[in-house]
Structure 1
Protein backbone atom coordinates (compact mmCIF):
# COMPACT_ATOMS: atom_id res chain seq x y z
CA UNK A 1 0.00 0.00 0.00
CA UNK A 2 2.98 2.28 0.41
CA UNK A 3 3.27 2.66 -3.36
CA UNK A 4 -0.39 3.67 -3.68
CA UNK A 5 0.02 6.26 -0.92
CA UNK A 6 3.21 7.51 -2.58
CA UNK A 7 1.40 7.96 -5.89
CA UNK A 8 -1.50 9.77 -4.19
CA UNK A 9 1.00 12.13 -2.57
CA UNK A 10 2.73 12.73 -5.90
CA UNK A 11 -0.65 13.49 -7.51
CA UNK A 12 -1.33 16.10 -4.82
CA UNK A 13 2.12 17.65 -5.31
CA UNK A 14 1.68 17.75 -9.09
CA UNK A 15 -1.78 19.30 -8.75
CA UNK A 16 -0.14 22.02 -6.64
CA UNK A 17 2.38 22.52 -9.49
CA UNK A 18 5.27 21.32 -7.30
CA UNK A 19 8.27 20.82 -9.61
CA UNK A 20 9.95 18.19 -7.42
CA UNK A 21 6.72 16.20 -7.26
CA UNK A 22 6.41 16.39 -11.04
CA UNK A 23 9.98 15.23 -11.47
CA UNK A 24 9.45 12.28 -9.10
CA UNK A 25 6.29 11.24 -10.94
CA UNK A 26 8.01 11.60 -14.32
CA UNK A 27 10.97 9.49 -13.18
CA UNK A 28 8.68 6.85 -11.65
CA UNK A 29 6.76 6.28 -14.89
CA UNK A 30 9.55 7.13 -17.37
CA UNK A 31 10.73 3.55 -18.17
CA UNK A 32 7.29 2.21 -19.11
CA UNK A 33 6.17 5.37 -20.91
CA UNK A 34 9.39 5.72 -22.87
CA UNK A 35 9.02 2.12 -24.08
CA UNK A 36 5.46 2.95 -25.12
CA UNK A 37 6.58 5.98 -27.13
CA UNK A 38 9.56 4.12 -28.53
CA UNK A 39 7.13 1.65 -30.09
CA UNK A 40 5.63 4.45 -32.19
CA UNK A 41 8.81 6.26 -33.25
CA UNK A 42 12.02 4.81 -34.70
CA UNK A 43 14.10 7.71 -33.35
CA UNK A 44 14.67 8.09 -29.63
CA UNK A 45 14.42 11.88 -29.94
CA UNK A 46 10.89 11.68 -31.35
CA UNK A 47 9.89 9.13 -28.71
CA UNK A 48 11.24 11.38 -25.95
CA UNK A 49 9.47 14.40 -27.42
CA UNK A 50 6.15 12.51 -27.47
CA UNK A 51 6.72 11.35 -23.89
CA UNK A 52 7.52 14.86 -22.70
CA UNK A 53 4.51 16.34 -24.52
CA UNK A 54 2.31 13.65 -23.00
CA UNK A 55 3.61 14.23 -19.49
CA UNK A 56 3.04 17.97 -19.91
CA UNK A 57 -0.61 17.14 -20.68
CA UNK A 58 -0.70 14.89 -17.61
CA UNK A 59 0.63 17.66 -15.37
CA UNK A 60 -1.70 20.24 -16.94
CA UNK A 61 -4.78 18.03 -16.49
CA UNK A 62 -3.88 16.13 -13.33
CA UNK A 63 -6.63 17.94 -11.44
CA UNK A 64 -9.16 16.26 -13.73
CA UNK A 65 -8.03 12.76 -12.69
CA UNK A 66 -10.20 10.90 -10.21
CA UNK A 67 -10.14 7.32 -8.95
CA UNK A 68 -13.35 6.53 -10.83
CA UNK A 69 -11.35 6.88 -14.09
CA UNK A 70 -9.36 3.79 -13.15
CA UNK A 71 -5.81 3.34 -11.96
CA UNK A 72 -3.68 6.45 -12.20
CA UNK A 73 -0.94 4.78 -14.26
CA UNK A 74 -3.53 3.61 -16.82
CA UNK A 75 -4.82 7.18 -17.12
CA UNK A 76 -1.28 8.53 -17.61
CA UNK A 77 -0.52 5.75 -20.12
CA UNK A 78 -3.61 6.65 -22.15
CA UNK A 79 -2.77 10.37 -22.16
CA UNK A 80 0.80 9.69 -23.33
CA UNK A 81 -0.33 7.13 -25.95
CA UNK A 82 -2.90 9.55 -27.36
CA UNK A 83 -0.29 12.30 -27.44
CA UNK A 84 2.04 10.03 -29.43
CA UNK A 85 -0.79 9.24 -31.87
CA UNK A 86 -1.57 12.96 -32.24
CA UNK A 87 2.10 13.62 -32.95
CA UNK A 88 2.03 11.01 -35.70
CA UNK A 89 -1.11 12.54 -37.20
CA UNK A 90 0.36 16.04 -37.28
CA UNK A 91 3.56 14.67 -38.81
CA UNK A 92 1.47 13.97 -41.89
CA UNK A 93 0.81 10.24 -41.87
CA UNK A 94 -1.67 9.34 -44.57
CA UNK A 95 -5.25 9.70 -43.38
CA UNK A 96 -6.89 8.21 -46.46
CA UNK A 97 -5.40 5.91 -49.04
CA UNK A 98 -6.78 4.23 -52.11
CA UNK A 99 -6.75 0.56 -51.32
CA UNK A 100 -8.07 -2.45 -53.10
CA UNK A 101 -10.00 -5.13 -51.33
CA UNK A 102 -7.62 -6.72 -48.87
CA UNK A 103 -8.19 -10.17 -47.49
CA UNK A 104 -7.10 -10.22 -43.86
CA UNK A 105 -6.54 -13.64 -42.38
CA UNK A 106 -6.27 -13.92 -38.64
CA UNK A 107 -2.81 -15.37 -38.26
CA UNK A 108 -2.53 -14.75 -34.54
CA UNK A 109 -0.04 -12.32 -33.11
CA UNK A 110 3.36 -12.80 -34.72
CA UNK A 111 5.00 -10.39 -32.28
CA UNK A 112 3.91 -12.23 -29.13
CA UNK A 113 6.93 -14.54 -28.90
CA UNK A 114 9.61 -11.95 -29.70
CA UNK A 115 11.83 -10.07 -27.25
CA UNK A 116 11.24 -6.32 -27.04
CA UNK A 117 14.61 -5.51 -28.66
CA UNK A 118 13.66 -7.70 -31.62
CA UNK A 119 10.25 -6.03 -31.88
CA UNK A 120 11.87 -2.58 -32.07
CA UNK A 121 14.18 -3.76 -34.87
CA UNK A 122 11.17 -5.05 -36.77
CA UNK A 123 9.10 -1.93 -36.20
CA UNK A 124 11.91 0.35 -37.37
CA UNK A 125 11.47 -0.87 -40.96
CA UNK A 126 7.81 0.19 -41.09
CA UNK A 127 6.55 3.61 -42.21
CA UNK A 128 5.14 5.70 -39.31
CA UNK A 129 1.42 5.12 -39.97
CA UNK A 130 1.84 1.39 -40.54
CA UNK A 131 4.04 1.17 -37.44
CA UNK A 132 1.44 2.94 -35.29
CA UNK A 133 -1.40 0.73 -36.48
CA UNK A 134 0.74 -2.38 -35.96
CA UNK A 135 1.41 -1.33 -32.38
CA UNK A 136 -2.20 -0.53 -31.63
CA UNK A 137 -3.39 -3.85 -33.05
CA UNK A 138 -0.70 -6.34 -32.07
CA UNK A 139 0.83 -4.80 -28.95
CA UNK A 140 -1.97 -2.70 -27.44
CA UNK A 141 -4.80 -5.09 -28.35
CA UNK A 142 -7.12 -2.60 -30.07
CA UNK A 143 -9.66 -3.88 -32.60
CA UNK A 144 -9.82 -2.55 -36.16
CA UNK A 145 -12.93 -0.42 -35.42
CA UNK A 146 -11.24 1.01 -32.30
CA UNK A 147 -8.10 1.85 -34.27
CA UNK A 148 -10.21 3.44 -36.99
CA UNK A 149 -12.00 5.60 -34.44
CA UNK A 150 -8.83 6.47 -32.48
CA UNK A 151 -6.81 7.47 -35.55
CA UNK A 152 -9.62 8.82 -37.75
CA UNK A 153 -8.54 6.42 -40.51
CA UNK A 154 -11.04 4.33 -42.46
CA UNK A 155 -11.33 0.69 -41.35
CA UNK A 156 -10.32 -0.48 -44.84
CA UNK A 157 -7.14 1.56 -44.59
CA UNK A 158 -6.40 0.10 -41.16
CA UNK A 159 -6.77 -3.37 -42.68
CA UNK A 160 -4.45 -2.37 -45.52
CA UNK A 161 -1.81 -1.25 -42.98
CA UNK A 162 -2.11 -4.56 -41.12
CA UNK A 163 -1.73 -6.42 -44.41
CA UNK A 164 1.32 -4.29 -45.16
CA UNK A 165 2.79 -5.18 -41.74
CA UNK A 166 2.43 -8.89 -42.45
CA UNK A 167 3.82 -8.51 -45.98
CA UNK A 168 6.88 -6.53 -44.87
CA UNK A 169 7.63 -8.54 -41.75
CA UNK A 170 6.91 -12.04 -43.06
CA UNK A 171 10.44 -12.64 -44.46
CA UNK A 172 12.03 -11.33 -41.26
CA UNK A 173 9.76 -13.40 -39.03
CA UNK A 174 10.35 -16.54 -41.08
CA UNK A 175 14.09 -16.02 -40.65
CA UNK A 176 13.64 -15.43 -36.92
CA UNK A 177 11.65 -18.64 -36.41
CA UNK A 178 14.28 -20.71 -38.28
CA UNK A 179 16.81 -19.95 -35.55
Structure 2
Protein backbone atom coordinates (compact mmCIF):
# COMPACT_ATOMS: atom_id res chain seq x y z
CA UNK A 1 0.00 0.00 0.00
CA UNK A 2 1.49 3.32 -1.05
CA UNK A 3 0.38 6.63 0.22
CA UNK A 4 1.19 9.93 -1.35
CA UNK A 5 1.74 12.89 0.85
CA UNK A 6 0.57 16.18 -0.50
CA UNK A 7 1.41 19.63 0.62
CA UNK A 8 -1.51 20.54 2.92
CA UNK A 9 -1.93 23.75 0.94
CA UNK A 10 -1.95 21.96 -2.41
CA UNK A 11 -5.74 21.91 -2.82
CA UNK A 12 -6.13 25.49 -1.66
CA UNK A 13 -3.42 26.71 -4.04
CA UNK A 14 -5.09 24.81 -6.89
CA UNK A 15 -8.41 26.43 -6.04
CA UNK A 16 -6.82 29.89 -5.90
CA UNK A 17 -5.06 29.42 -9.25
CA UNK A 18 -8.31 28.34 -10.88
CA UNK A 19 -10.03 31.43 -9.52
CA UNK A 20 -7.16 33.68 -10.61
CA UNK A 21 -7.42 32.20 -14.11
CA UNK A 22 -10.98 33.62 -14.08
CA UNK A 23 -9.59 37.05 -13.05
CA UNK A 24 -10.67 36.78 -9.40
CA UNK A 25 -8.80 39.61 -7.65
CA UNK A 26 -9.75 38.41 -4.18
CA UNK A 27 -8.23 35.00 -4.89
CA UNK A 28 -5.10 36.74 -6.16
CA UNK A 29 -4.90 38.74 -2.92
CA UNK A 30 -5.31 35.55 -0.88
CA UNK A 31 -2.60 33.82 -2.91
CA UNK A 32 -0.27 36.77 -2.39
CA UNK A 33 -0.85 36.73 1.37
CA UNK A 34 -0.30 32.98 1.47
CA UNK A 35 2.96 32.63 -0.48
CA UNK A 36 4.56 36.06 -0.97
CA UNK A 37 6.85 35.78 2.07
CA UNK A 38 8.21 32.43 0.91
CA UNK A 39 8.65 33.67 -2.66
CA UNK A 40 10.36 36.85 -1.45
CA UNK A 41 12.75 34.78 0.66
CA UNK A 42 13.77 32.81 -2.42
CA UNK A 43 14.19 35.96 -4.52
CA UNK A 44 16.25 37.65 -1.80
CA UNK A 45 18.49 34.60 -1.32
CA UNK A 46 19.19 34.47 -5.06
CA UNK A 47 19.56 38.22 -5.66
CA UNK A 48 21.16 39.31 -2.41
CA UNK A 49 19.56 42.75 -2.87
CA UNK A 50 16.23 43.72 -1.42
CA UNK A 51 15.31 46.07 -4.27
CA UNK A 52 15.97 43.45 -6.94
CA UNK A 53 14.17 40.77 -4.90
CA UNK A 54 11.11 43.02 -4.53
CA UNK A 55 11.08 43.70 -8.28
CA UNK A 56 11.43 39.99 -9.06
CA UNK A 57 8.60 39.16 -6.64
CA UNK A 58 6.31 41.71 -8.25
CA UNK A 59 7.17 40.45 -11.74
CA UNK A 60 6.57 36.86 -10.65
CA UNK A 61 3.10 37.69 -9.33
CA UNK A 62 2.27 39.55 -12.54
CA UNK A 63 3.25 36.42 -14.48
CA UNK A 64 1.14 34.26 -12.16
CA UNK A 65 -1.84 36.57 -12.70
CA UNK A 66 -1.48 36.37 -16.49
CA UNK A 67 -0.63 32.67 -16.72
CA UNK A 68 -2.60 31.01 -13.91
CA UNK A 69 -4.82 29.33 -16.49
CA UNK A 70 -1.78 27.67 -18.05
CA UNK A 71 -0.82 25.81 -14.88
CA UNK A 72 -1.36 22.06 -14.94
CA UNK A 73 -0.17 19.31 -12.62
CA UNK A 74 2.46 18.14 -15.15
CA UNK A 75 4.44 21.21 -14.10
CA UNK A 76 4.69 20.02 -10.49
CA UNK A 77 2.85 21.24 -7.46
CA UNK A 78 1.29 24.72 -7.64
CA UNK A 79 3.82 26.01 -5.10
CA UNK A 80 6.78 24.58 -7.03
CA UNK A 81 5.44 26.11 -10.26
CA UNK A 82 5.13 29.55 -8.64
CA UNK A 83 8.55 29.32 -6.95
CA UNK A 84 10.07 28.41 -10.31
CA UNK A 85 8.52 31.51 -11.85
CA UNK A 86 10.01 33.62 -9.03
CA UNK A 87 13.41 31.94 -9.39
CA UNK A 88 13.65 32.52 -13.13
CA UNK A 89 12.34 36.07 -12.86
CA UNK A 90 15.08 36.82 -10.29
CA UNK A 91 17.79 35.26 -12.46
CA UNK A 92 16.57 37.21 -15.51
CA UNK A 93 16.69 40.49 -13.60
CA UNK A 94 20.16 39.73 -12.24
CA UNK A 95 21.39 38.95 -15.74
CA UNK A 96 19.85 42.07 -17.30
CA UNK A 97 21.32 44.34 -14.60
CA UNK A 98 24.77 42.82 -15.05
CA UNK A 99 24.60 43.56 -18.78
CA UNK A 100 23.39 47.14 -18.17
CA UNK A 101 26.25 47.81 -15.75
CA UNK A 102 28.79 46.78 -18.37
CA UNK A 103 27.42 49.08 -21.11
CA UNK A 104 28.37 52.48 -19.67
CA UNK A 105 31.10 53.75 -22.04
CA UNK A 106 29.03 56.01 -24.27
CA UNK A 107 30.49 59.33 -23.02
CA UNK A 108 34.27 58.99 -23.03
CA UNK A 109 36.12 62.19 -22.17
CA UNK A 110 39.36 63.22 -20.51
CA UNK A 111 39.32 64.90 -17.09
CA UNK A 112 41.97 67.63 -16.68
CA UNK A 113 42.49 67.21 -12.92
CA UNK A 114 44.07 63.73 -13.25
CA UNK A 115 41.10 61.91 -11.75
CA UNK A 116 40.18 58.65 -13.40
CA UNK A 117 37.97 59.49 -16.30
CA UNK A 118 35.49 57.38 -18.21
CA UNK A 119 38.23 56.29 -20.63
CA UNK A 120 40.29 54.90 -17.74
CA UNK A 121 37.20 53.13 -16.47
CA UNK A 122 36.58 51.82 -19.97
CA UNK A 123 40.05 50.34 -20.20
CA UNK A 124 39.70 48.72 -16.77
CA UNK A 125 36.31 47.30 -17.66
CA UNK A 126 37.45 45.87 -21.02
CA UNK A 127 38.11 42.54 -19.32
CA UNK A 128 34.67 42.69 -17.71
CA UNK A 129 33.09 43.31 -21.11
CA UNK A 130 34.89 40.34 -22.60
CA UNK A 131 33.74 38.21 -19.67
CA UNK A 132 30.16 39.44 -20.11
CA UNK A 133 30.32 38.56 -23.81
CA UNK A 134 31.65 35.10 -22.99
CA UNK A 135 28.96 34.59 -20.33
CA UNK A 136 26.35 35.37 -22.99
CA UNK A 137 27.67 32.44 -25.05
CA UNK A 138 26.95 29.93 -22.27
CA UNK A 139 23.69 28.06 -21.90
CA UNK A 140 21.24 29.63 -19.45
CA UNK A 141 21.80 26.91 -16.84
CA UNK A 142 25.59 27.16 -17.07
CA UNK A 143 25.52 30.95 -16.79
CA UNK A 144 23.02 30.92 -13.90
CA UNK A 145 25.02 28.26 -12.04
CA UNK A 146 28.27 30.18 -12.38
CA UNK A 147 26.78 33.57 -11.49
CA UNK A 148 24.96 32.23 -8.46
CA UNK A 149 28.00 30.29 -7.30
CA UNK A 150 30.68 32.94 -7.78
CA UNK A 151 28.76 36.20 -7.38
CA UNK A 152 26.13 35.18 -4.83
CA UNK A 153 28.31 32.61 -3.05
CA UNK A 154 25.76 29.79 -3.14
CA UNK A 155 27.10 26.35 -2.29
CA UNK A 156 26.51 23.39 -4.60
CA UNK A 157 23.69 22.22 -2.31
CA UNK A 158 22.05 25.65 -2.36
CA UNK A 159 22.41 25.82 -6.14
CA UNK A 160 20.81 22.40 -6.53
CA UNK A 161 17.84 23.60 -4.48
CA UNK A 162 17.62 27.00 -6.21
CA UNK A 163 17.76 25.45 -9.69
CA UNK A 164 15.65 22.40 -8.80
CA UNK A 165 18.33 20.07 -10.17
CA UNK A 166 20.49 17.24 -8.82
CA UNK A 167 23.79 18.34 -7.28
CA UNK A 168 25.83 16.33 -9.79
CA UNK A 169 24.10 18.09 -12.66
CA UNK A 170 24.77 21.50 -11.11
CA UNK A 171 28.46 20.63 -10.64
CA UNK A 172 28.66 19.56 -14.30
CA UNK A 173 27.05 22.82 -15.46
CA UNK A 174 29.60 24.81 -13.49
CA UNK A 175 32.57 22.74 -14.66
CA UNK A 176 31.54 22.80 -18.34
CA UNK A 177 30.63 26.47 -18.14
CA UNK A 178 34.01 27.39 -16.65
CA UNK A 179 35.82 25.40 -19.34
CA UNK A 180 33.80 27.22 -22.02
CA UNK A 181 34.56 30.59 -20.38
CA UNK A 182 38.27 29.79 -20.32
CA UNK A 183 38.26 28.89 -24.03
CA UNK A 184 36.33 32.05 -24.88
CA UNK A 185 38.59 34.34 -22.83
CA UNK A 186 41.71 32.84 -24.42
CA UNK A 187 40.58 33.81 -27.94
Compute the TM-score of the two structures, normalised by the length of structure 1.
Answer: 0.58
Task: Give, in whole Å, the separation in 1 of the partners of 2:134 and 2:57.
Answer: 27
Identify which of 12, 20, 27 aligns with 1:21.
27
- Contact 1:37–1:47, Cα closer than 8 Å, also in 2: yes
Task: Give, in whole Å, the separation in 1 of the partners of 2:61 and 2:13.
Answer: 15
After superposition, the Cα gap between the structure-2 partners of 1:92 and 1:24, relative to the gap in structure 1 and judged at 3 Å, is: same
Where does the alignment leave 5 or more consecutive residues of structure 2 unmatched?
1-5, 100-131, 136-146, 183-187
Identify which of 159, 162, 166 aligns with 1:140.
159
Where does the alignment leave 5 or more consecutive residues of structure 1 unmatched?
98-126, 149-153, 161-179
Indicate the residue corresponding to 1:130 in structure 2: 150
Indicate the residue corresponding to 1:3 in structure 2: 9
Compute the TM-score of the two structures, normalised by the length of structure 2.
Answer: 0.56
Task: Give, in whole Å, the separation in 2 of the partners of 1:135 and 1:158.
Answer: 21
Q: CA deviation at 1:42?
A: 3.0
1:45 is paired with a residue of what secondary structure?
helix
After superposition, the Cα gap between the structure-2 partners of 1:138 and 1:28, relative to the gap in structure 1 and judged at 3 Å, is: same
Task: Give, in whole Å, the separation in 2 of the partners of 1:23 and 1:14.
Answer: 9
Task: Give, in whole Å, the separation in 2 of the partners of 1:67 and 1:11.
Answer: 12
Indicate the residue corresponding to 1:96 in structure 2: 134
Task: Give, in whole Å, the separation in 2 of the partners of 1:13 and 1:136.
Answer: 38
**Number of matched residues?**
125
Work out which of the two has the higher radius of gyration on C-alpha atoms and give 1 or 2: 2
Q: CA deviation at 1:43?
A: 2.6
Indicate the residue corresponding to 2:38 in structure 1: 32
- Contact 1:34–1:51, Cα closer than 8 Å, also in 2: yes
